[in-house]
Structure 1
């Protein structure tokens, strides 16, 4: 089984939102035959934070206050205008920081304008100080994410749509344009907690378990199969994405686990290195 190859642009310093660099980068990815491009989100980055970044032993993320972090949906809309086949994904929108009625419209609009190329990757985040800046309770993020996913589904599939939750309530409303697919925009659930697995089984078309090795991934996917079975859902309906493995052996292990997409990082400001990275990765790691 061949992997779909996604690319996450490396951010650093100023220029991540520079139009010429972005347009050339996404066109280049399409020419290279990459399947997808992925955009990260942070609404704000505090000067100092006590929250621990879960994907590095240092507890600190690589991005800082001096780095440009474009709005992912606006960045992907720009990318859509310069490509025709590249899948456009968010990895990840911090879902509880966005009101679902507003977000449903934004996601559906991008999906329609791109010809149905959007995957909405969502997670709950880890940076308490970012929640504080928006005025959203950090401790409620899991509950909010579940309710917001229910509301998104209602708005995309109901005509009219109604939802009566603890936080979001609407009756007999219409949100248009509607996504290109009857079930709505595909939703990728990001995370590595039991709650993320349950969310993926219930809401996800895709699952991106971040920050785990092959052994940890195997445990999460076993749990995912169990959760899907409990819901009467075929686990094969949830496609699995993983961070790009570092060796051929790791790639083979991911294939055995049923991973269908891997995501590699590349610097948009260095087109030659982008091509070299993609080519080398395909030959040496994926064995294509």
Structure 2
């Protein structure tokens, strides 16, 4: 089917920050023929939280207090040093929690040192308690994210760069190194809300809908095409990623909708599932 395969590690216990385990995992993912490896972000996991996790009927996420959740950019830098080909994705950086001037430097440095292998997946998050721990306003986080994306592009493509917005301002600054690709690090917008669709159409190189079934995916991609045309863009410019179905029929249905990458989860201790999925489900 020609779909790209991404792999996200299952985070359990201390494995996510075990150097030998992670090095072995990312090398095995690359050797198995996967296109990309993806890292999640949570700066903190509250012991208790009232926010509802939107991707499970229970309203609770699978990450538990005491589980290692490494910083995704540090984790991917480590992964880059132990691989040579596999792309390095974040799924998702919680964008409003990062100052865009600092983030632009961190992303472009990783992109440069990895030879242009970074994919910056971004979202606005759902965990109010995490925002509160960081001292970042939870309200209007979508508007903040949109402005931050514009600021990132400015810093990556202009030198000197100037920007004046509601949340961030800078004047005639140089942010080096620049990303390898002229337009900057590719941005993959995550989410399933109307705002996420608009964000992907206006700012994204990719769109990664989460928590939707096949019918929901079809509806989101229809709206994405409409928003792209309204923004003067060709919908084909926005690459679509989806969670990996367990059966070949599900993969074929996603491909018919225009999805070009699926991302599966694999245990850090056993990456053999990656090669098996690629052969048995993707038929590659």
* TM-score above 0.5: yes
- Kindly report which structure 2 residues correspond to 1:40-55, keeping only aligned pairs within 5 A, or say none: 40-55=40-55
Q: Counterpart of 2:282?
A: 286
- Kindly report which structure 2 residues correspond to 1:245-260, keeping only aligned pairs within 5 A, or say none: 245-260=245-260
Q: CA deviation at 1:269?
A: 1.6
Q: CA deviation at 1:15?
A: 2.6
Partner Cα separation in structure 2 for residue 282 and residue 26 of structure 1: 16
- Kindly report which structure 2 residues correspond to 1:221-260, keeping only aligned pairs within 5 A, or say none: 221-260=221-260
Partner Cα separation in structure 2 for residue 40 and residue 8 of structure 1: 8
- Kindly report which structure 2 residues correspond to 1:202-213, keeping only aligned pairs within 5 A, or say none: 202-213=202-213
Q: Counterpart of 1:102?
A: 102
Partner Cα separation in structure 2 for residue 72 and residue 137 of structure 1: 22
Q: CA deviation at 1:285?
A: 2.2
* Number of positions where the alignment pairs a residue of Structure 1 with one of Structure 2: 284
Q: Please tell me whether the aligned partners of residues 15 and 268 of structure 2 are also in contact (alpha carbons under 8 angstroms).
A: no
- Kindly report which structure 2 residues correspond to 1:44-83, keeping only aligned pairs within 5 A, or say none: 44-83=44-83
Partner Cα separation in structure 2 for residue 281 and residue 45 of structure 1: 31
Partner Cα separation in structure 2 for residue 66 and residue 144 of structure 1: 30
Greater relative contact order: 1 or 2 (C-alpha under 8 angstroms, separation 6 or more)?
2
Structural RMSD (CA): 0.8
Indicate yes or no: 2:174 matched with 1:178.
no
Partner Cα separation in structure 2 for residue 250 and residue 24 of structure 1: 30
Unaligned 5+ residue runs, structure 2? Answer: none
Partner Cα separation in structure 2 for residue 279 and residue 176 of structure 1: 38
Partner Cα separation in structure 2 for residue 137 and residue 233 of structure 1: 32
Q: CA deviation at 1:110?
A: 0.1
TM-score relative to the length of structure 1:
0.97
TM-score relative to the length of structure 2:
0.98
Partner Cα separation in structure 2 for residue 37 and residue 10 of structure 1: 12
- Kindly report which structure 2 residues correspond to 1:88-237, keeping only aligned pairs within 5 A, or say none: 88-237=88-237
Q: Please tell me whether the aligned partners of residues 192 and 210 of structure 2 are also in contact (alpha carbons under 8 angstroms).
A: yes
Partner Cα separation in structure 2 for residue 104 and residue 118 of structure 1: 12
Residue 15 of structure 2 aligns to a residue in which SS? coil
Deviation readout 1:238-259 (Å, 9 max, x if unpaired): 0000000122221111010010
Q: CA deviation at 1:2?
A: 1.0
